[in-house]
Structure 1
Amino acid sequence: MSTVLTERSWCVMVPHDAQGARSARHRLATELTGVVPAALLADVEMVAAELLGNAVRHAEPLPGGLIRLAWSLRPGPPADVVEIRVTDGGATAPPQLRRVGPEAIDGRGLFLVAALTARWGVERDGLGQSVWARLAHPAGRELAPVG
């Protein structure tokens, strides 16, 4: 018997604060547990944590004091892709990689995002600013059926 994977997506709006970011990350993990391989899930959680943390620390909230976390799963081949997108009200400067010294206590988050993802970027629209990241896993390997 063969199983066909279908595209799947989801989003949540949470308060623009540390507790809201934590709640969004936990809901993401719950939704993807058993759907994607554990190694991919760990990377998705790490990237989501960095993007949500940056939104809380550096950006304005969306109207109503919220941030939005969305994800989608697109089955391959050649790769199964999870895209996550964090949307906030934007900041005065767009997110960018910054050089930090060995003694710095922060500033490495987007380097982690870049290292764990196939691609990442920033888009602005009428809603606000979205930072997105795509993580890929070879198609057909260890993915659970969707639906």
Structure 2
Amino acid sequence: MSIAPQDPVIHEDRVDYVPTPISVTRARRHAARMVAEWGHPALADDAALIVSELAGNALRHGHVPGRLFRVCLTLTKTTLRIAVADPKGERLPHPRQPSPEATHGRGLLIVRALAPRWGVRERTVGKEIWAELDLPGSPAER
């Protein structure tokens, strides 16, 4: 899914990360900083949590030795779009209902709870999972 042409991109940030646990932390911190610098500090925590969950999934389920994962943040007048791409596209993610004892399996449920829109896009190599947050005061927010 792409942002509609009538909603031009104001800011965009793309960073490639080595698939290691510290990269998830770095991606989360970077996302929070960028969103706040772009003038939306109220969305920084939600954006950081979404990046953390999606980057963690890229590390856990999308890791291919020698390949990076990418985090892309896109800001328009109405939307903050967060996308994480990884090189493994054989299995597309879907939310599941883990047992109460499970220590994993809630990432997409968290993303779905925070973002009014999210989805998966197959790429030539791998996949991209994206989520969109409405900016405060945007038409979708009213």
Change (3 A) 1:50 1:137: same
- 2:74 corresponds to: 72
CA RMSD of aligned residues (A): 2.0
Structure 2 length normalisation: TM-score?
0.82
Contact 1:17 1:56 (C-alpha < 8 Å) held by counterparts: yes
- Identity across aligned pairs (percent)? 33
Which of 12, 18, 21 is matched with 1:9 structurally? 12
**Count of residue correspondences:** 131
Unpaired runs of 5+ residues, structure 2, are 1-8
- 1:114 corresponds to: 112
Higher relative contact order (CA 8 A, sep 6+): 1
Deviations 1:78-135 (A, max 9, x none): xx21001101012432111111122222211111100100111111122321001101
Amino acid at match of 1:84: I
Runs of 4+ in 1 over 4 A off after TM superposition: none
Structure 1 length normalisation: TM-score?
0.80
2:40 is aligned with 1:40: no
Unpaired runs of 5+ residues, structure 1, are 1-5, 141-147
Q: Tell me by how many angstroms 1:21 deviates.
A: 2.0
Provide the rounded CA distance (Å) in 2 between the counterparts of 1:130 and 1:108.
18
Contact 2:27 2:52 (C-alpha < 8 Å) held by counterparts: no
More helix by share: 2
Change (3 A) 1:30 1:138: closer
- 1:105 corresponds to: 103
